[in-house]
Amino acid sequence: MSAPRYDFTSHRLFVDSSLHQDARVDLDASQSNYLRNVLRLPDGAGLLTFNGRDGEWRARLSLSGRKIVSLIIQDLVRVQEPGCDLHYLFAPLKHARLDYMVQKAVEMGAGVLRPVFTRRAQAERVNLDRMRANAIEAAEQCGILTIPEIATSARLEALLSAWDASRLLIFCDENAPVRDPLEAMRDVASAEAGRPLAVLIGPEGGFDPQERAALLATPHVLRLSLGPRILRADTAAVAALALAQAALGDWRRRT
């Protein structure tokens, strides 16, 4: 029996420092408090650490005095893998639902997360630092090596005017004709093979007619129905990303 790909028995921590054998990484106050006072890990405890660049390493906890907590980097456990070239574009939601959506997008393999403001968007601003914190938490919990880029927000009109025509844009539209979404994606698979992907989820009020017309005029676009039921935006995100990965993304390409 082959060894499991991931070690889910060890605590896992993201750090923004270079990782190599025998390196010493001093943790910030928040991480130190979490390991020492929340998890109550003792001096010498083992855990896994990663930085999104140098792979995953086994490390040993070093407690020096009351406040100083460090990691002593020991052995490379997994080499760094390239992230998935999948952009997830979304009309921002409020608070907890946005947190959930960010976490699920990371779990589904999104490599870039970009808030896109539409005319019917629920939120008028988004906290990018909070998005990054949620992305890191999801990566820590799910054995993911790469932290997705949290891109600056954009208006839909500006995004489309500067659109990279080499990327296939899948936009989910409740007004699209209802058909099997996997079949719809597979119909374009041969013509669009090898193109990087982007998935766009609009606001719960939907795209307005002018936005829909602008999307349909964009090169290499697929208008997609997610079935006969209307989904909340955070549910639609999970459904759309799963379909994209299954039909055109890295679920299909990996053995």
The predicted-structure confidence for 78-115, as pLDDT tens digits, reads as follows 999 888 899 999 998 887 889 999 999 999 999 999 99
**pTM of this structure:** 0.88
Tell me which fold the domain 12-78 belongs to. Ribosomal Protein L25; Chain P (2.40.240)
Residue 255 pLDDT exceeds 50? no
pLDDT category at 193 given cuts 50, 70, 90 is low
Q: Position of tokens 């995100």?
A: 237
Q: Do 150 and 131 meet the contact criterion of CB atoms below 8 Å apart?
A: yes
Task: Please state, in angstroms and rounded to a whole number, the distance separating the CA atoms of residues 38 and 28.
Answer: 15
Domains of the chain, residue spans: 12-78, 86-253
Which segments of 125-249 does DSSP mark as H helices, in order?
128-142, 156-161, 181-189, 209-216, 233-247
Domain 86-253 is of which CATH architecture?
Answer: 3-Layer(aba) Sandwich (3.40)
- Closest by CA to 160, choosing from 121, 103, 127, 200, is 200
